[in-house]
Amino acid sequence: MLTWLTSNNCKPIPVFMKKIIKGFLYFMGGLLAILVICFLAFIIYYGLQNYNAKNQLAEVKTIKGNGFTFRDLNKDGRLDIYEDSRASVENRVNDLLKQMNLEEKVGMMWHPPINVGSSGEVTGKPGMMSFSSSYDIIINQKITHFNLFMTPKAKQLAIWNNAIQTIAEQTRLGIPLTISTDPRHGIANFLDSKLLNSDFSKWPEPIGLAATGDPALVAEFGRIANQEYRAVGIRTALSPMADLATEPRWARISGTFGEDANLSSKMIGAYITGFQGEKLWSQSVACMTKHWPGAGPLQNGEDAHFHYGKNQVYPGKNFEYFQIPFIAAFKAGTAMIMPYYSVAFNQTSENVGMSFNKEIITDLLRKKYKYDGVVCTDWGILEGFSIFGIQIVEAKNWGVEKLSIKERIKKAIDAGVDQFGGNNNTKELFELVRDGQIAESRIDESVKRLLRVKFILGLFDNPFVNVEQADKIVGNPEFVEKGKFAQRKSIVLLKNQMNADSSFVLPLRKDLKIYLEKIDKKTASEYGTVVDSLNDADVAILRIAAPFEPRNGDLIERMFHQGDLDFKEPQKSRILKIMNRKPTIVCIYLDRAAVIPEIASKASGLLADFGAYDDAVLDVVFGKFNPTAQMPFELPSSMESVKKQKEDLPYDSEKPLFPFGWGLRYK
């Protein structure tokens, strides 16, 4: 019998308590039953979805005739114009467009994430990065553009590409998939490194490539990244960032080429040429240049991923300055353009996000700059997503928060966009066209642009990759060495203190006893004698990172480095204490600017890196590599000067600690 426990004895449970306990047990049992039913319904639903989807597939045959071989993508037993690689791109586009139904056209206008199985398998159920199964999203929703986040090893990714393209080719018209990714070649990458990890060769972040001042090196990076991407089936790079780092607090500076429009323009042109070639062709990786009309001047440096950072402001009346790097992108033939989330505050007749702003997309981009390529929105402008009522990522629908999802879709299409990144609201768009709120002819305009890129990339002729070659191409020794060289070339020597005998502290001698922080001891042992105690050291070598204020908002907000640029206590005092005891070499990782006057004053040697492994840093410290890089943005002298500067003006803080273009050499 249930009993009521006391400190002295056991007494029968009061009747009212029995009722409470009984009710609680009934409630928990009922809740468990509901959860089990929901789980089974979930499994059955997606099982049926996958079963129905798979039953819609028809095998594609390769047909030979008159000395020509083609893939019979629509399974009609004859050569259609869109299947004929000898036909012009425009004729192929027009022929396919005539055969597409409205659902297929609508599906073309979405670009959501897709899951990849750890062994390269196609996932038959929703996952962390996609709330739809791969079969459902391709076959039922007719979507043909996807971006990747977490991926397996190169060979497994290549296996997945071929498997997912096989599913796509077996649909009614056999339209191939276009697979995209954010940059994956950095050591840290823009988001959490686990989300964008890869086997690819490792290079400095774009801001580090800007520090090299070498467009030829950037173009070489693009050519190498092109080969590694194509080896696993990635055909669209969601890059470069043509934005300008004029606001030092902005969280996305590492993805830019700095604050100077001329330097950025040179690098943007080289980057696109490296990825795409002199023109877009079958061996290109198409570039989606972002974020039109130039992100960077975010109010108080807060980012537009979040509601409190939605406004771009122009107190220096410098709106057109941010378009200069995009002009270089247009000249290089960028295949696609992505607008930013933010509002160009008081620059047009309405304060709405860039993708909803007709004056920004149609009037400025399309008409003034004559751009007729694809315009794809940034990810998640229509709606965010929640789990069990808990918001994981908020929608970035700035200025149109009161509109329904359908109204947001219509406004963006009316503004001139061709595709929606991150979302897959195919049903709502289909209904808008069916109900006459959006003309099908308007949808055709966007579908033509999107198909044109697929045809030029050769995806209709062969979307498959050589699985056995993937491991040989991705991260091969030649590419890795090129990346290592770029890491070294991107490191800036900010300070080199002079000794009493007029010699300089750097480069260090190899016979020194060295104390380390944030540096691998085994790697460092090749350069000097590593000691565990600062007391025993001749010199200390510290690796630190630019400070930031942690935020505790949604999933994305926790990944962003935002807020003040100066070190707070007790971290600052701890660093200075080491520097007061021993001669200290400091290398600071700058994913954005930092305010470090006390550290710079105390350091015997000061370097800045933008993504480099320990051996690259130590090669510069010990003179195996002579630094040549220059700062791609200035380092302010105080937070007061940061707050006084104007968000839209480059190099305008008072008496910067290190100005734009600063960089020392050993000789």
Give me the active site residues, please: 378
Query: DSSP letter string over 394-407?
Result: ----TT-TTS-HHH
Which run of H or of E encompasses 139? none
For every residue of 194-261, DSSP letters joined together read: TTT--SS--B--HHHHHHHT-HHHHHHHHHHHHHHHHHHT--EE---B-----STT-TTGGGS--S-H
Per the CB < 8 A criterion, the answer to whether 450 and 418 are in contact is: yes
Structure tokens at 13: 């449970």
Closest CA to 154 of 474, 464, 483, 479: 474
Which whole-number Å values give the CA distances from 49 to 39, 64, 135, 375, in the listed order?
15, 35, 8, 31
- Is 559 within 8 Å of 189 (Cβ atoms)? no
52: number of Cβ within 10 Å: 13
The residue among 87, 136, 141 whose CA lies nearest residue 109 is 141
Burial profile 442-472: b = 16 or more Cβ within 10 angstroms, e = fewer: ebeebbbbbbbbbbbbbbbeebebebeebbe
Residue among 202, 160, 152, 153 at smallest CA distance from 179:
160
Torsion angle of the four alpha carbons 352, 353, 356, 361, in this order, in degrees rounded to the nearest 10: 110
DSSP string covering 597-665, please?
A: HHHHHH-SEEEEESS--HHHHHHHHTTSS------SS-B-S-HHHHHHS-TTSSS-SSS-SB-TT--B-
- H or E, element range at 76: none
Nearest to 487 by CA among 178, 208, 297, 126: 208
- On the 0-12 / 13-18 / 19+ scale of CB atoms within 10 A, 300 is middle
Residue pair 1/12 in contact (Cβ under 8 Å)? The answer is yes
Report the alpha-carbon distance of residue 206 to residue 223 in Å, rounded: 15
Nearest Cα neighbor of 443 from 142, 141, 92, 106 is 106
Instruction: State how far the Cα of 297 lies from the Cα of 340, in Å rounded to an integer.
Output: 12
Cβ atoms of residues 159 and 122 within 8 Å? no
Angle at 82 between CA 79 and CA 83, to 5 degrees: 45
Using CA atoms of 35, 41, 47, 50 in order, give the dihedral in degrees to the nearest 10. -110
Give the contacts of 272 (CB within 8 A, at least 6 positions apart).
222, 240, 287, 289, 329, 332, 333, 334
Could you say which DSSP state residue 491 is in?
A: -
Helix (H, G, I), strand (E, B) or coil at 312: strand
For the chain, the 3-state helix, strand and coil shares in percent, each to the nearest 5, are: 40, 15, 45
What six digits make up the tokens of 618? 């130590």
DSSP letters, 416-444, are: T--BEES---HHHHHHHHHTTSS-HHHHH
Q: Which two tokens stand for residue 388?
A: 């069990």
